[in-house]
Amino acid sequence: MIRRLASGGLAAVLSLLVLSGCTIWNDLEEHARQEDETRPFYEVPDPLPAGEPGELIRTLPITTAPTGSHAWRVLYHSTDLAGDDIAVSGTVVVPDGTPPAGGWPVIAWGHPTTGAAPRCAPSSGFVPLALIEGMDDLLIDGFAIAATDYPGMGAPGPSSYLLGDVEGHSVLDAVRAARALDGVELSSDVFFWGHSQGGQAVLFAAQDAADYAPELNPITVAVAAPAAELATLLADDIDDISGVTIAAYAFTAYQSAYAPTHPGLELTSILTPAAAEAAVKMQTLCLFGQNAELHELGQPLIGSFLSADPSTTEPWAGFFAENTPGAEPLGVPALVVQGGSDELVRPAATEGFVQRLCGQGEQLASKSYPTATHGTIVIQALPDVRAWFSAARSGTTSLPVCS
């Protein structure tokens, strides 16, 4: 969910760019100028014109698409926790050439945590495709890619951080938006792929698809170190800066989203007064570029962030349960990959998720990579993920499943 940046922040960012296969431009002043020029793209019309979920509001070509592809920023309609119409941004990448019969199948990508505020959106930077992990290989394999920023990122609005249905709907609506692009022929076949926070998002997209987007045809879901057991994740990490940052993003998002249905809901019912004050500031900061500020606010609160146990304190325990995937059937075969050396999403937490879903009768395969960390799991697992997607296209699985 959060890549540990600390003093190695630049190296972590550069490693992310390498993962995607993108080339880092050398003329940073030019990139900054182009980033400034894209900001009007994210301005949401007020009032927002009515539109169906997935309907396009506007598009903007991306000039840095990988060779052999075309890409766009997209602004599209989706829904919030109350089901109200909102604007969400994202990106779409489509291979050049002649698509297969029925159109290019679509990878619906869920990105790992970059923050929770509008300026933290992956699409809003000068390398807008950099966080689509495995992008080049997936394009070579003949997939188009639809990548949401999640609500509240890119396009302004309330944070959706770890709000499973809201994130999942934005994933599905990104696919709808991609299929609405002029001159693009995309299939209804959808392959969900997500890392960390994105793992939670695409798991919810898979389990919500039949009801929310019945015109789409989910094929399979693959997740790397997913944020799948929220209470366990917080308990594992709350005693370090990563856990404090996760908690700041999550509790502020939940307080905002659930306050209308839970009058009087305050952060101080679960956080210490100092933590509640800091969390409001932290949720405006991004992991990349503002990591030092996050540490300055969060580091003094390690060990004194929570005022109560959110796994047993209502209504927070209910919020965590509601946003933990797997309460509804996924409906498609799933692959879960996990790093054995991951110190953020711990192997035991992911194994617990795997066992829970296997016990529920899901068709689920899992594989561990002993030396992989939270940041390197995708590098090691990508060949198996590609093989899983290839097999799913032919209606089989490339690894044994638990049912």
Q: Are residues 276 and 203 in the same domain?
A: no
Structure confidence at residue 35 (pLDDT): 54
CA angle 233, 239, 243 (to 5 degrees): 45
What confidence tier does 37 reach under pLDDT thresholds 50, 70, 90? low
- In this structure, are 220 and 244 located in the same domain? no
Same domain, 217 and 235: no
**Same domain, residue pair 181 and 241:** no
* Contact (Cβ atoms closer than 8 angstroms) between residue 269 and residue 251: no
Q: Tell whether the model's pLDDT for residue 15 goes beyond 70.
A: no
Q: Return the structure tokens found at 278.
A: 């800091």
When pLDDT is averaged across residues 243-271 and rounded to a whole number, the result is 96
300: in domain: yes
For residue 328, being part of any structural domain is answered with no
d(CA 105, CA 94): 10
194 in the same domain as 66? yes
Q: In terms of domains, do 220 and 236 share one?
A: no
In a domain, 363, yes or no: no
d(CA 153, CA 159): 7
Task: Give a yes or no: residue 402 inside a domain.
Answer: no
Q: What is the mean pLDDT of the chain?
A: 91
Report the predicted TM-score, pTM, of the whole model to 2 decimal places.
0.92
Residue 213 lies in a domain: yes
Range of the domain at 91: 6-227+381-393
In this structure, the answer to whether residues 253 and 202 fall within a common structural domain is no
168 plus 206 within the same structural domain: yes
| Residues 263-278: tens digit of each pLDDT | 999 999 999 999 999 9
Whether residue 99 is contained in a domain is answered as: yes
30 pLDDT more than 70: no
Last residue of a domain, one of 275, 297, 320: 320
On whether both 61 and 198 belong to a single domain, the answer is yes
The encoded tokens of residue 400 equal 């044994």
Residues 75, 59 contacting (CB under 8 angstroms): yes
Are the C-beta atoms of residues 271 and 310 closer than 8 Å to each other?
A: no
Question: 209 with 244, same domain?
Answer: no
Residue 360 has pLDDT above 80, yes or no: yes
Count how many domains the chain has: 2
**Residue 345: inside a domain:** no
H/E segment holding residue 79: strand 69-79
Same domain assignment for residues 296 and 181? no
Q: What is the CA radius of gyration of the chain?
A: 20
CATH number for the domain that contains residue 27? 3.40.50.1820
Amino acid at 207: Q
Distance CA 398, CA 284 (A): 42
Query: For 362, how many CA atoms within 13 A lie in the half-sphere containing its CB?
Result: 28
Tell me which residue of 336, 116, 339, 136 sits closest to 228, measured CA to CA.
Answer: 336
Together in a domain, 166 and 284: no
The whole-number pLDDT of residue 27 equals: 38
Span 148-179, pLDDT tens digits:
999 999 999 999 999 999 999 999 999 999 99
Q: Report if residue 308 sits inside a domain.
A: yes
Percent of the chain with pLDDT over 90: 88
Long-range contacts of 315-321 (CB under 8 A, 24+ apart): 315/258, 315/262, 315/265, 316/251, 316/254, 316/269, 316/270, 317/231, 319/254, 319/258, 320/230, 320/231, 320/234, 321/231
Pick the last residue of a domain from 320, 340, 361.
320
Domain termination site, one of 288, 320, 352? 320
Q: Which residues of 3-19 are buried (b: 16+ CB within 10 A; e: fewer)?
A: bbbeeebeebbeebeeb
For the chain, what percent of residues have pLDDT higher than 70?
91
Q: What pLDDT sits at residue 125? A: 79
Q: What is the DSSP letter of 342?
A: -
